[in-house]
């Protein structure tokens, strides 16, 4: 079982704001990174560290963290943002890495 | 261009072995931490193993004792030796580069499919 917990599915109206969360005890000590994965494609890093975006990722993607919860926020969701989103961090030991179970985002 | 290309996947019987390769270009494998991540059909991502630049290795509990991660610096290639394979190891296996200074994977390969079945 995953040490990082995500809601299985979330929906958002086109142009609205959506927050995807990731919960886990290790998030009190480590930042989460976030990945977008579309069907048949490899994951793509969208947020890492405190709130950093790799080159080429739109600024509508942002990250935050509080206590044991990390969040990915999409401000003004677009149709192309419909995808699976995964959080990733270290486990409580700090030696192993772990992914959340993933959240399927539907843009209505 | 920074790129990772996996190979070596295929169909193998339960109890069999397979070695996956991940050829890197545009950067040096030994200067970064590198991981294998897998995804069973219709399921989420599962971290499998990591090798750090200093050579330390760690494994998910589900593969510990059966899988071995390694690298060949002269070939700039990452490997995953998989022994005692089980049906539940069936998945697409991705290699990924650790983002320097952060716990994140910034470069991913396209994945290679491993099917364990009789």
Contacting residues of A for B109, CB less than 8 Å apart: 42
Q: How far is CA A93 from CA A26, A78, A89, in A?
A: 8, 37, 11
pLDDT band at B46, cuts 50/70/90? Answer: very high
Contacting residues of B for A52, CB less than 8 Å apart: 102
- In angstroms, the separation between the Cα of residue A14 and the nearest Cα of chain B is 25
Q: Running DSSP on this structure, what letter comes out for residue A8?
A: S
Residue A2 above 70 pLDDT?
no
Which of B35, B103, B111 has the highest number of chain A CBs within 10 A, making it the mutation to test binding with A? B103
- In angstroms, the separation between the Cα of residue A47 and the nearest Cα of chain B is 9
Q: Residue range A82-105: average pLDDT?
A: 94
Q: pLDDT of A52-72, one tens digit each?
A: 999 999 999 999 999 999 999
**Angle at CA of residue B24, ends A103 and B80, nearest 5°:** 70
Report the share of chain B in percent with pLDDT over 70: 100
- Chain A to chain B, count of Cβ pairs less than 8 Å apart? 68
Q: How far apart are CA A4 and CA A21, in angstroms?
A: 10
Nearest to B89 by CA among B10, B5, B32, B6: B10
pLDDT band at A92, cuts 50/70/90? Answer: confident
**Phi, psi (degrees; rounded to nearest 5) at B17:** -130, 155
- Cα dihedral: A35, A90, B109, B22 (round 10): 180
């Amino acid at each position: 079982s995953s040490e990082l917990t995500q809601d299985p599915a979330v929906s958002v109206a086109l142009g609205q704001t959506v927050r995807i969360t990731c919960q886990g005890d290790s998030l009190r000590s480590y930042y989460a990174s976030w990945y977008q994965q579309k069907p048949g494609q490899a994951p793509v890093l969208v947020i890492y560290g405190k709130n950093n975006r790799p080159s080429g990722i739109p600024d509508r993607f942002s990250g935050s963290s509080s206590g044991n919860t990390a969040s990915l926020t999409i401000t003004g969701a677009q149709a192309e943002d419909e995808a699976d989103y995964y959080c990733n961090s270290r486990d409580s030991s700090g030696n192993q890495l772990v992914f959340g179970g993933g959240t399927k985002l539907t843009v209505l | 261009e920074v790129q990772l290309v996996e190979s070596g996947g295929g169909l193998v019987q339960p109890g069999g072995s397979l070695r996956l390769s991940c050829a890197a270009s545009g950067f040096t494998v030994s200067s970064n931490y590198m991981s294998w991540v897998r995804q069973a059909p219709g399921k989420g991502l599962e971290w499998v193993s990591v090798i750090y630049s200093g050579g330390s290795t760690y494994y998910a509990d589900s593969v510990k004792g059966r899988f071995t991660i390694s690298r060949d610096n002269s070939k700039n290639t990452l490997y995953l030796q998989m022994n005692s394979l089980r049906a539940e190891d069936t998945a697409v296996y991705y290699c990924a580069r650790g983002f320097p200074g952060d716990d994140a994977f910034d470069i991913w390969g396209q994945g290679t499919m491993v099917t364990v079945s009789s």
